[in-house]
Structure 1
Amino acid sequence: MQRILFDLAALISRVAIGVIFVTHGWQKMQIGVPVTAAAFNQMGIPLPWLSAGFAILVETVGGVLLIIGLLVRLAALGLVVDMLGAIIFVHGAHGVLIQNGGWELAGALAVACLLLVAVGGGRLGIDGILHNSYRRRAERRAAEQDLAGHAPATSIRPEAPSEADTAPRPEAPSEADTAPRPVPPTARGGDMRNVDDVVADEPSRGRSPSA
Structure 2
Amino acid sequence: MLPLRRFPALPDAGLLVGRIVVGVIFVAHGWQKLTDQGHSAVAQSFEHLGIPMPGLAAVYGTWVELLGGIALIAGVLVPVAGVLIALDMAGAFWYVHMDKGLFSQEGGYEYVLVLGAVCLLFALTGGGRFSLDALLFERRRAGAPERESVSA
TM-score in terms of structure 1 length: 0.65
Is 2:106 the partner of 1:116?
Answer: no
Match of 1:60 in 2: 66
Match of 2:47 in 1: 41
Q: Encode CA deviations 1:15-66: one digit per residue, 9 max, x unaligned.
A: 0110000111111101100101111111111111010000001000000000
| Structure 1 outlier segments of 4+, above 2 Å | none
Alignment-mate amino acid for residue 33 of structure 2:
K
Match of 1:72 in 2: 78
Match of 1:20 in 2: 25
Match of 1:142 in 2: 146
Q: CA–CA distance in 1 between the matches of 2:99 and 2:118?
A: 22
Match of 1:178 in 2: none
Q: CA–CA distance in 2 between the matches of 1:123 and 1:132?
A: 9
Q: Specify every segment of 5 or more residues in structure 1 that has no aligned partner in the other structure, as ranges.
A: 147-211
Q: CA–CA distance in 1 between the matches of 2:54 and 2:139?
A: 43
Q: CA–CA distance in 2 between the matches of 1:79 and 1:22?
A: 11
Match of 2:131 in 1: 125
Please provide the CA RMSD for this pair.
Answer: 1.5
Q: Specify every segment of 5 or more residues in structure 2 that has no aligned partner in the other structure, as ranges.
A: 1-5
More relative contact order, 1 or 2 (CA 8 Å, 6+ apart): 2
Is 2:43 the partner of 1:32?
Answer: no
| SS of aligned partner of 1:63 | helix
TM-score in terms of structure 2 length: 0.89
- Residue 2 of structure 1 and its aligned partner are, at CA, apart by 4.5
| SS of aligned partner of 1:121 | coil
Residue correspondences, number: 143
Structure with higher Rg: it is: 1
Identity %: 39
